[in-house]
Amino acid sequence: MKNIFKIVVLSSLSVLAASCESFLDVNVNPNAPVNENLTLSAKLPAALNSTAAQEAVQLNQLGAFWGGYWGTTSEALALFNDIKYYDGVGIRGSRDGIQIWENTYNILLYYKLIKDQAEAEQSPFYAGISKIMMGWHFIRLVDIYNNVPFDGALQGTNVPQPVYQPGAEVYRKSIDLITEGIQDIRSASVAPANDDIFFGGNKTLWAKFGNTVKLRALLQQSEVSSQSGYIAAEIQNIVQEGSGFLGVGENAYSNPGYLNTSGKLNPFYETFYRNAGGATVANHTNIRPTEYLIHKYGTLNDPRLEKIYQTANGVFKGVKFGNLVASEEYNTENTSALKGPAENSNQPAGLLKSFDQPAVILSSFESLFLQAEAAERGWIGGDAATYYNQAIAASFVYIGLDGEQATIYIAQPAVSLGEAGNRIARIIEQKWLAINSVNSFQAWNDFRRLGLPDFPNSESAPSATARPLRLMYPETELQTNREEVNKQGGDDITKNRVWWDPE
């Protein structure tokens, strides 16, 4: 963690009066951070937008491939091979790898700078937001790598080789940090406004968001029997706090004021659909839904299918993930691409609506599915079926459908929670269909945790049963903190699990 990285914030801050057209470009050394002479109102949207960009692109893409949603056309057979082959060494490469570790610790450092400045300036709302978001990112790191630095992280040259702490411990510390953040926000007398590009300074929504992130982290531990007492205690803490969770119509969206300018569009739209000039990007041409996903939508008569995807030769057609042999069946023209405005009479489509659509951090439908699962497990009050039905309806609204269509869909025996033999499995299946390409990383989490849904393995996997369980630690850590890395055991991404992943 000695290397100097560069945070390039990927949004315009056009909602801000003072810096409408600018990027924030901050050079930081994780071991010697320098606090730039910037106001909290300038730093906060930059940090929040960095979170949004990482979620929408880097984590969403990895999760979409490993969570059963995406494959590639025959013409793109040679692309994304590290992901298709579960090549941990290639993924962790310092030059061409997927730099989740480096990016996340850079973002964490920036939130820490905000927290330190906010505490010095006695601005508890900003401090609270930074604590909640630091908890968010540390939990993400554990989900991806398992044991990671927490106490010794972000300390500069004071701790050049921080100790890796157990993933379970980092989870607890992160949940505590989120709790502190909620308390800070509730105590604040002055709130941010446009510079809070998630909630516009709404205390209640920030508290609900923090509680929902905690609930998601607690559900990640559902298969670890030794955690039951801790989970019950933390659920009680959430109940006592009183704000509840994100409900119907309450979404954690990020919108800094996207512009139709290169690097300033909604990051999902720009990375997976069209650029500022309106040209189709390579990812939109090369990436396709899996056959399993298309089949699942189809067998459930799910109207979201035609909102999200185009037909190919009059039918919806997916691909095999990790297909080893090029086949005309899976060529570009014979498979279904994501549908965007250009393919929808210049109207917003299901996932691709416009260059300035908000980026999804945590949707109301994901929150409601979390509550449905928690209620089904007896962790929280309320009716699991009610949360479940509300979650599906909220997903339909997001995709551009209406309540009547959701009601008809839910009434089917194959969808109704009351008709399910395994109610948890049904909740997860519908959650999987709802968060498709919106928050795909959570689909990979749910699969590792529960093995649901049982989508096919990559045809390029090293063996029929090998699945990606976590990432290797990156080259930057091997170079600068090798002793700690070597203490973490084996480094095979198909054999070594994160702490909450059951055998």
Average pLDDT rounded to a whole number, residues 370-374:
99
Average pLDDT rounded to a whole number, residues 293-317:
98
Residue 271 has pLDDT above 90, yes or no: yes
Give the residue with greater pLDDT, 23 vs 399: 399
Buried b (16+ CB within 10 A) or exposed e, 311-344: ebeeebbbbbbbbeeeeeebeeebbbbbbbbebb
State how far the Cα of 237 lies from the Cα of 228, in Å rounded to an integer.
Answer: 14
> Is 475 contained in some domain?
no
| Cβ proximity of 423 and 376 under 8 Å | yes
> Is 289 contained in some domain?
yes
Token pair 């968010």: residue: 136
Residue 9 has pLDDT above 90, yes or no: no
| Cβ proximity of 51 and 133 under 8 Å | yes
Q: What is the pLDDT of residue 17?
A: 29
Average pLDDT rounded to a whole number, residues 398-421:
98
Q: How many CB atoms lie within 10 A of CB 230?
A: 16
> Is 323 contained in some domain?
yes
pTM of the full predicted structure? 0.94
CA neighbours closer than 13 Å in the CB half-sphere of residue 223: 15
Average pLDDT rounded to a whole number, residues 272-299:
98
Overall domain count for the chain = 1
> Is 334 contained in some domain?
yes
Average pLDDT rounded to a whole number, residues 495-502:
96
Q: What is the pLDDT of residue 24?
A: 32
pLDDT, tens digit, 9 for 90 and up, residues 59-110: 999 999 999 999 999 999 999 999 999 999 999 987 788 999 999 999 999 9
CA neighbours closer than 13 Å in the CB half-sphere of residue 85: 12
Residue 95, phi then psi, degrees to nearest 5: -105, -55
Residue 315, C-beta contacts closer than 8 angstroms, at least 6 positions apart: none
pLDDT, tens digit, 9 for 90 and up, residues 138-179: 999 999 999 999 999 999 889 999 999 999 999 999 999 999
State how far the Cα of 448 lies from the Cα of 463, in Å rounded to an integer.
Answer: 17
> Is 204 contained in some domain?
no
Residue 120 has pLDDT above 80, yes or no: yes
Residue 409 has pLDDT above 90, yes or no: yes
State how far the Cα of 48 lies from the Cα of 76, in Å rounded to an integer.
Answer: 33
The residue segments making up the domain with residue 311 are 275-338
What's the Cα-to-Cα distance from 167 to each of 145, 174, 484, 500, rounded to whole Å? 9, 10, 14, 8
Closest CA to 335 of 406, 265, 284: 284
Q: Quick one: 125 exposed, middle or buried, by C-beta within 10 A (0-12, 13-18, 19+)?
A: buried
The CA-CA-CA angle for residues 187, 364, 499, to 5°, reads: 80
Average pLDDT of the chain to the nearest whole number: 93
> Is 288 contained in some domain?
yes
> Is 3 contained in some domain?
no
Token pair 């029997």: residue: 225
Structural tokens at position 380: 């929280």
> Is 227 contained in some domain?
no
